[in-house]
Amino acid sequence: MDTQLFGNSDIRVTPVGLGTWAIGGWMWGGTDEGQSIDTIHAAIDKGIGLIDTAPVYGFGRSEEIVGKALAGGRRDKVALATKVALNWNADHDKVWREATASRIEKEVEDSLRRLQTETIDIYQVHWPDPVTPMEETARAMENLFKAGKIRAIGVSNFSPAQMDEFRKTVPLHSLQPPYNLFEREIEDEILPYCREHGIATITYGGLCRGMLTGKMREDTQFSGDDLRKNDPKFQGERYRQYLDAVAELDRFARERYGKNVLALALRWLIDQPQVTTSLWGARRPEQLDPVSEVEGWSLDPQAFKEIDDILSRCIKDPVGPEFMAPPSREGND
């Protein structure tokens, strides 16, 4: 898989990265360590050169699995990205934002240990913390950068105004926002901002929590702590609208390109000029089989227009990913 420079850093990444939220198990119905390690190995074997994780993904579990998978000679084959500044209680039933300097200083050491690495390539503030001064957060990240513990400073889920405030203190290398065919709010202001300031993007949710795999049905059931039980896209009449859109997109992809909707959704992301890397979440090696289906073709302007027409025609009550935002830390300290 081709590589490109990661924004204004010296890190090289591939256009598709592996997202490991589901591998951590939390809000995805548990995890299987052996299967997860096999999935990470399969991603590397297929040429995927970026792996993204976070402490909160399984409360350290995802990072531990990634660390085990990269041990033994695979670490130098990938750019390794993780995050910081979420906290949780002992029962793991409350998560909140906490981007204090002390929290960042503690978390980076925990992440380095779990990941079995001396340096994190891309370190990202997971969510903006409205309680902590932005300068304090940015300065803590800058200290890690100067110490060589991280190679690039990133943020996730930040607005242009929040990135402006962050950049008053320290240069910013990257942003990780949600982005897929169904969730495109960042097109209005965020992507233009990143383009203007040379900020790389790692987009997450490329398959919209499985909606764009083409495997969801009206009677699909979600059990346990599966976050889709609380996702408004998967509820009632709105769910049927999204399923109709998936069906039409799948027909379009097959008739025009001989591909399925999953390949179309990822090719659409890769062909966005301001997307540096699009994350693909997988829990089993076979879920990575379609990687080869996104190579060797691209979408032209007419295809983009027809895709937009399908979305406009099918989805009358669109909704974004706002339900995933964690609360601030007020009342949780």
Which of the two residues, 250 and 218, has the higher pLDDT score?
250
For the chain, state the CA radius of gyration. Answer: 19
Q: Give CB contacts under 8 A, 24+ apart, made by 142-148.
A: 142/169, 142/170, 144/104, 144/108, 145/170, 148/119
Q: Mean per-residue pLDDT for 232-259? A: 96
pLDDT greater than 50 at residue 230: yes
pLDDT tier at 88, thresholds 50, 70, 90? confident
Task: Give the pLDDT score at 223.
Answer: 76
pLDDT digits (tens, 9 = 90+) for 130-164: 999 999 999 999 999 999 999 999 999 999 999 99
Report the candidate in 322, 291, 284, 215 with the shortest Cα–Cα distance to residue 16.
Answer: 291
Q: Which of 57, 193, 239, 242 is catalytic?
A: 57
Residues above pLDDT 70, as percent of the chain:
96
Task: Give the pLDDT score at 25.
Answer: 52
Give the architecture-level CATH label for domain 4-324. Answer: Alpha-Beta Barrel (3.20)
* 4: β partners: 13
pLDDT tier at 29, thresholds 50, 70, 90? low
Domains of the chain, by residue range, sit at 4-324
| pTM over cut 0.95 | no
Q: Mean pLDDT lowest for which of 186-190, 207-211, 243-247, 254-258?
A: 207-211
- The question of whether 57 is a catalytic residue gets the answer yes
Q: Mean per-residue pLDDT for 93-103? A: 92
Task: Give the pLDDT score at 331.
Answer: 45
Arithmetic mean of pLDDT over the chain: 92
Helix (H) or strand (E) holding 143: helix 134-146
Task: Give the pLDDT score at 184.
Answer: 96
**How open is the CA angle 10-11-14, to the nearest 5 degrees?**
140
pLDDT digits (tens, 9 = 90+) for 41-85: 999 999 999 999 999 888 889 999 999 999 989 999 999 999 999
Task: Give the pLDDT score at 333.
Answer: 45
